[in-house]
Amino acid sequence: MTKKVSVVIAAVLLLSLVSWCQKGMKTENELATSAEQQTKVKANGSLSVETGIVFQSGDVLPLARMSLRLSRKSFAEIVAEVLGKNNNPSSDEMEPIQKFAKGIALTQSLGESSGVLQDECITSLDKYSSSSAVTDFQGRAEMSLISPGIYFLVGHSYVRGTAFVWNVRVEIKPGNNSIVLDQNNAIIAQ
């Protein structure tokens, strides 16, 4: 074989290899579009929250200006960590939240907005929160662009001498999801 033929064959093989590689590769724009589409698919859930306390008289008090957080980790585990215990401090997994609620009731009864323990627990909770919202004056809040999965909806309020803490497990599915937070799904302390 002549030198010219060898060079031509090598060039054809090289061009074929480059063409084959380019078919398998995506441009930066194609990759960015693909990532955006995956994000849209992943974060396609929303959560509507309605809050309120129903009294024996039948009156309903919407919980206005309540901070809500959607966490991948149970608030009970977070509070247990802040208290310096392992993730299963007793047979009652809600015991840490009960302590948190009692702390809220105590600090509120003393005229303080929060204590060091509560502040530390909320700071730790923020590390695991993927979404947050504050309820309006009707006690409603909306969270959007949530990836489907299992979360804990966490919030707390102090109403008429009673502390209410929510650590409600929710499953976010694609589309609209809703939940009601009231005294029936709260940890309560006075």
pLDDT tens sequence across 138-178: 999 999 999 999 999 999 998 988 889 999 999 999 999 99
CA–CA separation, 58 and 54 (whole Å)? 6
* Residue environment code for 83-110, b if the CB has 16+ CB neighbours within 10 A, otherwise e: eeeeeebeeeebbbbbbbbebbbebbee
Quick one: pLDDT at residue 92? 67
Alpha helices (runs of H) in 46-178, residue ranges in sequence order: 75-82, 95-109, 116-128
Note the pLDDT tens digit of each residue in 19-69.
544 555 445 455 445 445 444 457 899 999 999 999 999 999 999 999 999
Q: Is 45 helix (H, G, I), strand (E, B) or coil?
A: strand
| Residue 88 clears pLDDT 90, i.e. is over it | no
DSSP state of 90: S
Confidence band, pLDDT 50/70/90 cuts, at residue 112: low
Tell me if the pTM is above 0.75: no
For residue 100, which of 55, 157, 150, 61 has the smallest C-alpha distance?
A: 157
**The residue type at 17:** L
| Residue 106 clears pLDDT 90, i.e. is over it | no
Q: What is the pLDDT of the chain when averaged over all its residues?
A: 79
